[in-house]
Structure 1
């Protein structure tokens, strides 16, 4: 999927393109590409073997196909044979030997419907008769039937048994032998682990290789150590953590999230209720604040940068986490503040965690066990969590990304806390003063920042990195077009921002530093002056 890797592989293995109609292009469409093109290459372009389907072999040589009689052909079937896996050959005019097989497509239902299976079969048969007679468009689009593909009764069987009987499970997994390569995703919560494992199964079943695996750690910082030490291969990070990963953990970004028309960047914004009295950032002194997480771009770095730029926090007021807790003296929810690795002073950490709720939906007495955690066990963590903190009255301002309000209002989020929210009840608070509708984020924002990125270790070989990158891009292309197979982007089991941000629409390879990355790097330099002291 990545153009640079594509060009590099074509240059390195030019012999794989040598027999194409246009070897320098080596891409679809090509006279010698596809199932029929491979046979043309064998017969007329110096090829010695062709990998194709039986039905195309029979068509190419004019042999009967199903109920379709033999057709005139200029090709000579007697000059060709099927090459079998055991090295023998059989004539193309007879039964084929095969290297792979796939069962016919079929209809699946749940166990409750099995009791009325005969009635369902009868309905499908009747629908086929009606649709075929009237040349109905829905016959092909909905039932995937045609005059050449007809419904046929089959005994009720489980999907695994159905695939095994056709030897298809073996075909899918045949290439996956030793050495068993995996791409290990580092995750920080059980919810994320659950999605990661489902993602791994879905990607593997759709022939994405190498297989994805999942490694659970207690925090993002622990994940950075694990990826650095080769205990995992990748993790998706906010821009602030990407900077830290590059400087302190010998990691590098290889893939970036995409956000629709904005591509690989987004805007950090401050959201207030429309009926609030706040007109400027100066008015926020003493207010209650909601943040996505410690060291996160929209929730921590961007607001801190804004307060420093407006001189509402002095540059010499180190540590800045303490200065932030004093500015928002009404209390805050800044998940991750109590993590010892973040080195937030204990008194400041108490204030910065005071508005967090833990798992506010738990009804078993454990709701506060996860209070202020920087993962999905804290209900006010992340973009949607920070907005929820504002919605439920814990805070008076939420620092999120430009699509957070739109993604959780006007029926977009069915969760109980968000189902009845209206976007018109919220506005953006602008750094230069005044407020703006949530749609005016390009004019009213704290920073234009790079997208979240997938990082891996600098110690990996170029070939290993290309393999990881291709697996991610292949999965992204597949599942963004087919979310019914697996929802790679968006909420998962009602949980937000697992593996990737909910607003992600795809992934793209990173080959150079973008303008947004450079600007953001300068922003980070200005808020990291305390670390240098």
Structure 2
């Protein structure tokens, strides 16, 4: 009897366990938080923790991070744009598409058309040469990528690839020569100075604008409707516009007409025209709707799951899922059958064709040198993302073992660009003949601020007081070492040449990892780097450590360095001679991109504009609800990959803003690196000796 009861109980608990496992299995939805009001995970994800919920949140850094998570099985589904899908295809990631997310009943998010004024005599696309062109302009690329905004010109204008012009200028020049005049307002390139130079060089492309001298995004003829006003105000002959805007502008849908459709026609890719007020507009290119994508094995289940969400109570977990996938203003459309990316995009008129226009031949490519597998992987995603948003020249990613090897590769033309930390800046300039192209600019609390740090209670107030004291440096020839040497030099505290010998003589037996013939001073392996210099100070191997001020907080917060929690900021004291001027000896951005010093101005401008465009699309100031790729943030769970996480923006000057006024930029010291000359006392002795010799020989002569 007992055995039978035990067996019954066992069966019951096994069944209960199986049911609970099945019940607890949830679909993993990958969520990317936007900024401000678009941070949705904190608001809706807790609702999915309810036992009855059939979904749970997986947080992604960006949309492409969610794509990788699906490919790895860490998530089941997420929402992607058509540009994300092109990137996925180029990166050989396979997903299936189950649903479209629409906010209207139209087949595509938008369709792009060319509208001509009948009186202009444009019967086919071959008649466009010498006409006046109304273009929507630039500055809102997340909704209207450069690939789509330039599609008409790419289709009808012979593109030149003259080597004496950048790729961007080649395109601008070709349009300038093709059209009599145009209004293409907004930033042509992301360097304001270069933008103005190009607009002055090709003024006919701004001539139709309401304010041709400025040709900016505030112009009356800039933007989606701006190009249509340019046409119907009589300024231009042809407009490149969205079909939904055309219908609204000409009163073909409710909303009030801005102009009568009489006298205007659609220009068709097949060389014909059709009336604007007809029922069959001709389309040049379309943008598909965002879609739900999932791994192949879960596609059918995900489609049925999403279809079951509609009509849910506003406080239910189903409503939370809908809000997380941004369908609170959308309708969900089943894709029948469930489709792979290629099939879905092939149905979208012109979209794949727009994304496959070839560049210059031979191709122009910017080769980025990376130093690890994960860095090279992030670079590859950056390359694919740049391509789908129409950024040129193309990027390529090469891998070396470390930054030194990358600097050597750039120097010998095996690569073109490398990210260099402050500690290697002097070596990059002096040994490899590199120059900075742009900087990872950061706020003051993230800059490298070289300071002198002592143990609290030490009575040292000035650099002069450190003579004979033992010093701890992160590395020889790094930013801290060079900053100290330059400061000692400027204070006339170095008594002999060369500066390296003079600086080591100024201090007592010090720890300078990497200093030639320095074995007698310290265990350079244990005390290397910023944290090593602070350990050197705490272990009383030195009396002062020269490090970045911001490293103190990182050191105290490090679970490895401070595993027992005994290290506090109060243990350290930052030496400060003049608080009004800042306590730092020098400051530096966290890193810079470096290229060959003999790079041409043409190549430098082209390359700089590429990275400024990348920053605009994928940096802190991205304009879409969520970002496809986060340039400045963790990648696959790792920090500071390719770029530093705390980078505010990329600039061709080391400051975040032009009004920044922090003094003593480290790079200025390197540029102003004076030749070592003997001290005044030595020079005096030399002069006295020479005079003595001269007098001696003069007496002997006579």
- TM-score using structure 1 length: 0.70
d(CA) in 2 for partners of 1:208 and 1:395? Answer: 52
d(CA) in 2 for partners of 1:485 and 1:428? Answer: 42
Q: Pick from 285, 295, 303 the counterpart of residue 477 of structure 2.
A: 295
Counterparts in 2 of 1:460 and 1:217: CA distance versus 1, 3 Å: same
Q: How does 1:323-342 map to 2 (within 5 A)?
A: 323=504, 327=508, 329=510, 331=511, 334=513, 337=514
Q: How does 1:342-357 map to 2 (within 5 A)?
A: 345=516, 347-348=517-518, 354-356=524-526
Q: How does 1:153-164 map to 2 (within 5 A)?
A: 153-154=334-335, 155-159=337-341, 162-164=344-346
Q: Secondary structure at the match of 1:488?
A: coil
How far 1:84 sits from its partner (Å)?
2.8
How far 1:170 sits from its partner (Å)?
3.7
Contact 2:496 2:502 in 1 (8 A): no
Q: Pick from 221, 244, 248 the counterpart of residue 55 of structure 1.
A: 244
Q: Pick from 179, 184, 196 the counterpart of residue 367 of structure 2.
A: 184
Q: How does 1:509-520 map to 2 (within 5 A)?
A: 509-510=652-653, 516=663, 520=667
Contact 1:389 1:398 in 2 (8 A): no
Could you say which residue in structure 1 is the equivalent of 2:302? 117
Q: Pick from 607, 612, 616 the counterpart of residue 468 of structure 1.
A: 607
Deviations 1:259-286 (A, max 9, x none): 12689x65223456x7x66554749945
Could you say which residue in structure 1 is the equivalent of 2:649? 506
Q: Secondary structure at the match of 1:267?
A: strand
Q: Pick from 212, 224, 231 the counterpart of residue 414 of structure 2.
A: 231
How far 1:20 sits from its partner (Å)?
0.8
d(CA) in 2 for partners of 1:488 and 1:405? Answer: 26
d(CA) in 2 for partners of 1:239 and 1:269? Answer: 15
d(CA) in 1 for partners of 2:537 and 2:550? Answer: 16
Q: Pick from 392, 401, 404 the counterpart of residue 548 of structure 2.
A: 401
2:244 is the alignment partner of 1:101: no
Q: Pick from 382, 388, 395 the counterpart of residue 212 of structure 1.
A: 395
Contact 1:321 1:348 in 2 (8 A): no
Could you say which residue in structure 2 is the equivalent of 1:425? 569
d(CA) in 2 for partners of 1:386 and 1:484? Answer: 37
CA root-mean-square deviation:
4.7
Deviations 1:469-505 (A, max 9, x none): 1111111122223485333224544555443344321
d(CA) in 1 for partners of 2:540 and 2:627? Answer: 36
Q: How does 1:363-382 map to 2 (within 5 A)?
A: none
How far 1:408 sits from its partner (Å)?
6.7
How far 1:225 sits from its partner (Å)?
4.2
Q: Pick from 620, 628, 631 the counterpart of residue 488 of structure 1.
A: 631
Counterparts in 2 of 1:392 and 1:173: CA distance versus 1, 3 Å: farther
Q: Pick from 180, 195, 198 the counterpart of residue 381 of structure 2.
A: 198
Q: Pick from 595, 615, 622 the counterpart of residue 456 of structure 1.
A: 595
How far 1:399 sits from its partner (Å)?
4.4
Could you say which residue in structure 2 is the equivalent of 1:257? 440
d(CA) in 1 for partners of 2:549 and 2:654? Answer: 26
How far 1:182 sits from its partner (Å)?
1.8
Could you say which residue in structure 2 is the equivalent of 1:376? none
Counterparts in 2 of 1:255 and 1:48: CA distance versus 1, 3 Å: same
- TM-score using structure 2 length: 0.55
How far 1:188 sits from its partner (Å)?
3.5
**Which consecutive residues of structure 1, in runs of 5 or more, have no partner in the other structure?**
65-69, 338-343, 358-379, 435-439
Could you say which residue in structure 1 is the equivalent of 2:220? 31
Q: Pick from 241, 264, 269 the counterpart of residue 451 of structure 2.
A: 269
Could you say which residue in structure 2 is the equivalent of 1:90? 274
Could you say which residue in structure 2 is the equivalent of 1:75? 259
How far 1:28 sits from its partner (Å)?
1.2
How far 1:25 sits from its partner (Å)?
1.2
Q: Secondary structure at the match of 1:5?
A: helix
Q: Secondary structure at the match of 1:25?
A: coil
Contact 1:479 1:485 in 2 (8 A): yes
Counterparts in 2 of 1:495 and 1:304: CA distance versus 1, 3 Å: farther
How far 1:468 sits from its partner (Å)?
0.9
How far 1:73 sits from its partner (Å)?
3.0
Q: Secondary structure at the match of 2:333?
A: coil
d(CA) in 1 for partners of 2:283 and 2:247? Answer: 14
Contact 2:494 2:506 in 1 (8 A): no
Could you say which residue in structure 2 is the equivalent of 1:126? 311
Q: Secondary structure at the match of 1:153?
A: strand
How far 1:320 sits from its partner (Å)?
4.3
Counterparts in 2 of 1:248 and 1:394: CA distance versus 1, 3 Å: same
d(CA) in 1 for partners of 2:565 and 2:630? Answer: 24
Could you say which residue in structure 2 is the equivalent of 1:370? none
Deviations 1:124-144 (A, max 9, x none): 4235x859xxxx9x9998544
Counterparts in 2 of 1:528 and 1:144: CA distance versus 1, 3 Å: farther
Could you say which residue in structure 2 is the equivalent of 1:151? 332
Q: Secondary structure at the match of 1:348?
A: coil
Counterparts in 2 of 1:46 and 1:284: CA distance versus 1, 3 Å: same
Q: Secondary structure at the match of 2:218?
A: coil
Which deviates more, 3-12 or 508-517? 508-517
Contact 2:220 2:226 in 1 (8 A): yes
More strand by share: 2
Counterparts in 2 of 1:40 and 1:234: CA distance versus 1, 3 Å: same
How far 1:463 sits from its partner (Å)?
3.0
Paired residues, what number? Answer: 470
Counterparts in 2 of 1:318 and 1:445: CA distance versus 1, 3 Å: closer
Could you say which residue in structure 1 is the equivalent of 2:60? none
**Which consecutive residues of structure 2, in runs of 5 or more, have no partner in the other structure?**
1-189, 679-702
Counterparts in 2 of 1:510 and 1:528: CA distance versus 1, 3 Å: same
d(CA) in 2 for partners of 1:168 and 1:386? Answer: 54
Contact 1:83 1:89 in 2 (8 A): yes
Contact 2:587 2:665 in 1 (8 A): no
Contact 2:209 2:221 in 1 (8 A): yes
